[in-house]
Copies of this chain bind each other. A is one copy, B any other.
């Protein structure tokens, strides 16, 4: 049995902890967080601590923390024999280069505290500084998901940027859509099937092929009438995205 101390108690840490409850070869023996109130969920499930000096000896130290806190803690700590891991899309492997054994286990999914995620389908990107630990890491990842990818630090950084575009920025466009609906007393649920179909169709179709709408058709009359309905900030976004679509697709028609 491989013992794990989990650093962090945020959305991702909580979801990882839950997924690892079912693991056979691995066990989270302690959760560390500097704020005691964040440890509430864990306190009857494993050992908890808010004090770095009380961190237990373990085989794996797993940092699921904000990027700057990972760097900060990595500098403070000095584990000799343990395997040290972080879960960040944007922190390079080299943040741990003063340790002997280190790696990254990055689940590529969006986690909200109040919505359960089926971890078995979440792609997990792994990287380690040596082949033996890469195998341990692969075993750990396979306890959590069926989709494991070996991804270098450089690729992971690019993947994280791509994820910001297809998830964080996309979600912001949903927020704008909802605001426009609210302002006009339209139930936002009318847009749900469109949102789901737009997401689903690019599993089969290349997104470039799937592009539709007034920007692609270069339908200037519709574009102008839309701009009239929008506030300044929405107009800026509408114009820039329309321009980008037209640059990609050429001014067809």
Point out residues on A near B: beta carbons under 8 Å: 11, 66-68, 90, 108-112, 114-115, 117, 121-123, 125, 147, 149, 151, 154-155, 157-178, 180-181, 183-187, 190-217, 219, 221-222, 225-226, 229-230, 233-234, 236-238, 240-241, 244-245, 247-248
Nearest CB on B from A226, distance (A): 5
**A161's contact among B147, B217, B226, by CB below 8 Å, is which?**
B226
Q: Nearest B residue to A115 by beta-carbon distance?
A: B201
Chain A contact surface mostly: helix
Task: Determine whether the beta carbon of B166 is less than 8 Å from that of A67.
Answer: no
- Answer whether A167 and B213 are a contact pair too, CB < 8 Å, given A190-B159, A198-B110, A237-B244: yes
**A123 CB contacts on chain B under 8 angstroms:** 190, 193-194
Task: Determine whether the beta carbon of B163 is less than 8 Å from that of A211.
Answer: no
What are 14 of the A-B contact pairs (CB < 8 Å)?
A: A111-B212, A121-B193, A123-B194, A151-B186, A161-B226, A164-B215, A165-B173, A165-B176, A165-B237, A168-B214, A168-B245, A169-B238, A170-B195, A233-B247
Task: Determine whether the beta carbon of B175 is less than 8 Å from that of A159.
Answer: no
Nearest CB on B from A116, distance (A): 10
- Counted per complex, copies of this chain come to 2
Nearest CB on B from A32, distance (A): 20
**A219 CB contacts on chain B under 8 angstroms:** 66-68
Nearest CB on B from A209, distance (A): 8
Task: Determine whether the beta carbon of A165 is less than 8 Å from that of B190.
Answer: no
- Answer whether A202 and B195 are a contact pair too, CB < 8 Å, given A162-B177, A219-B67: yes
**A178 CB contacts on chain B under 8 angstroms:** 162, 206-208
Q: Nearest B residue to A176 by beta-carbon distance?
A: B165
**A203's contact among B192, B209, B236, by CB below 8 Å, is which?**
B192
Task: Determine whether the beta carbon of B67 is less than 8 Å from that of A175.
Answer: no
Cα of A248 to Cα of B221 in the assembled complex, Å: 30
- Answer whether A168 and B208 are a contact pair too, CB < 8 Å, given A184-B154, A197-B117, A233-B244: no
Cα of A237 to Cα of B173 in the assembled complex, Å: 12
Q: Nearest B residue to A117 by beta-carbon distance?
A: B197
Task: Determine whether the beta carbon of A198 is less than 8 Å from that of B215.
Answer: no
